[in-house]
Structure 1
């Protein structure tokens, strides 16, 4: 009998997971509050259900007799999937308490600083009239937004209050956080933990735009060139400390980091695979499919990494971008050659879905250098 998976969300990240599950013979169901995204048609069945309505998701999972409720690339979706799985006794990795810690930038920053894991000066704000902040440049964020939504770089005191007001407006809990600006290179790691042991800790460069599109990634690359062996050792030590402190047994983590005066600092951790398709970069470079490892973890299958290859050279994932207000057109995109893989999220003439409201990812490619 086929196993049945309910995937929360239908964006390009969920499409990656749906495609994998289809390839290994699962029956796939996807749900969203609107029929938008490639996952709608890739799944065997699509359901018009809002993923933030946990009771509706739970009812759907029961009705289709789901063996697994899961999601990648979305903090909101993996949180919903975890809570539903806890209630229904279905497989899940981390518990809701740890997810809530990772999802709250204020609580997570306090956790890191309290344990001397790359201290960063920060302040939680719920009243824009009482800022009391003197470090510039700084970064303003909603405490509970996903990815780069609402994240703003502030260079002078005159712009701070308005940025905080906007961050509070975006925030679900109506709180913002101000952090000191870390001015070094960015990098990240996809981490797989099984039975408390870190099996994969794949560090990659995070290539970003300049401050005109602050925080938005251009792409990712492995092996990393932004960090040296000592910085990699420190970063991996931080991740191991977090796993031990939180008594994490099985998990998929995406750890976003940055250098500050040459010292690694953790920006945030997402309890899921990233939303940037880095799994494909790793698969092309190392012949290691993180999607498979995710499902193996959920099913409690022992992971064996002995057969994985490491390819010499450097592999680079690069996004295709277009401004939010434009319609999709391949003619507007730069031509790329010598590609191992290329994919677009839109068809010619489609309206581009606003995500960050500035410059949107419309596809990506992977090449070897």
Structure 2
């Protein structure tokens, strides 16, 4: 029997685990959190810290896996790619390209080289001078995720304070400072074959509880065809410039009221919080299956033309203050929904961006209501704390 190691064990990796199992592959999972769901669903579990490339390589060497599959965080992908290079696993770029894509400063420089539209930026080191860029600015730690540590600054004094806060964090030696671009946030998931887009999806995204953490999204997107085609042209230009291998390239970008745009982030890992499940509900296309194919050495299947989409939103339930969470309610006009519980009632919910209690998938009757209601889901879905229950 063929054997795969899935590098990561949380709930967002479950569709990937199931995509492997559907092929009759024996699936092992590694991660140092025994309570996470993939350990319970896997054929075998290895409780190792996969952020340590030496530990992961040792496990791969001893177990002789046929496939290595990353999951939904940068650490999983970057360390897996490093180990894959040692053992010849399929589906990964080389170490240099992997680090470019997943390192904020290097990615932005690669975008400039390829002629992509990105905000003006500078990379600041702890002892280095503050950049000379027009305000307002966005300050991002190079190791930021889920919007943690990101801030908007309006003047030199605020910039100095934001940089000091970044460099006070242990292990943070660099920050990205970039021009603030006032636009709506969107993502583009493109499955690349021969450096061309073979299949792609556009999703609208919203950060309505914590300023730089996505908590609401919808598919299909309300973007115009012109903007979609412009983004596609940019992504294919990047794929050619970096000589990317086949697989997912997921990007985030901003679009202003006049239709101008800027690309801000990219990844080759699977997006988290069951992003693919949103796409699958809307389109019927198995996103997880497409993600794992390159790591198994499989070709992408030929597709008929995309059918009509259904109108689905995804909402990550979080709060702007800590509380003992008990339940939630909503009054939305949905025809179907699914709740993915991430906490039991009565457990402490940390304030965003550190805590989330559930994911809610909701089907709306038409595109108009989907686009109208997704941005306000956090107001229409009411979390109830323990002390509020009667």
Is TM (by shorter chain) over 0.5?
yes
Residue 132 of structure 1 deviates from its aligned partner by: 4.0
Structure 1 contact 8–30 (Cα < 8 Å) conserved:
yes
- Give the alignment partner of residue 234 of structure 1, picking from 230, 242, 260: 230
1:338 aligns with 2:335: yes
Q: Please give the per-residue CA displacement for 1:101-138, whole angstroms capped at 9, x wherever unaligned.
A: 01211121122223331142111111367214452221
The corresponding residue for 2:167 is 168
The corresponding residue for 1:47 is 46
The corresponding residue for 1:267 is 264
Q: Please give the per-residue CA displacement for 1:255-306, whole angstroms capped at 9, x wherever unaligned.
A: 1111245212111101122113221122112111121112222222222242
For residues 17 and 70 of structure 1, what CA distance do their matches in structure 2 show?
9
For residues 263 and 124 of structure 1, what CA distance do their matches in structure 2 show?
24
Q: Unpaired segments of 5 or more residues in structure 2?
A: 366-390
- Give the alignment partner of residue 302 of structure 1, picking from 284, 293, 299: 299
1:247 aligns with 2:263: no
For residues 349 and 70 of structure 2, what CA distance do their matches in structure 1 show?
23
Residue 333 of structure 1 deviates from its aligned partner by: 5.2
The corresponding residue for 1:136 is 135
Structure 1 contact 103–144 (Cα < 8 Å) conserved:
no
Residue 172 of structure 1 deviates from its aligned partner by: 4.2
The corresponding residue for 2:90 is 91
Is the partner of 1:213 in helix, strand or coil?
coil
Structure 2 contact 91–247 (Cα < 8 Å) conserved:
no
1:284 aligns with 2:270: no
The corresponding residue for 1:30 is 29
Tell me: CA distance 1:39–1:256, structure 2 relative to 1, closer, same or farther (3 Å): same
1:257 aligns with 2:281: no
The corresponding residue for 2:212 is 215
> With CA pairs under 8 Å and 6+ residues apart, which has the higher RCO, 1 or 2?
2
Q: Unpaired segments of 5 or more residues in structure 1?
A: none
For residues 306 and 364 of structure 2, what CA distance do their matches in structure 1 show?
15
Q: TM-score when scaled to structure 1? A: 0.89
RMSD: 2.4
Structure 1 contact 142–151 (Cα < 8 Å) conserved:
yes
Residue 332 of structure 1 deviates from its aligned partner by: 4.0
Give the length in aligned residue pairs. Answer: 363
Output aligned runs, 1:8-27, within 5 Å: 8-27=7-26
Is the partner of 1:235 in helix, strand or coil?
helix
Residue 309 of structure 1 deviates from its aligned partner by: 4.6
Residue 164 of structure 1 deviates from its aligned partner by: 1.2
The corresponding residue for 2:382 is none
Residue 158 of structure 1 deviates from its aligned partner by: 2.7
The corresponding residue for 1:152 is 151
Q: Please give the per-residue CA displacement for 1:163-219, whole angstroms capped at 9, x wherever unaligned.
A: 11222344745101111111111111111112333211211111221xx62122122
Is the partner of 2:90 in helix, strand or coil?
coil
Tell me: CA distance 1:127–1:295, structure 2 relative to 1, closer, same or farther (3 Å): closer
Q: TM-score when scaled to structure 2? A: 0.85
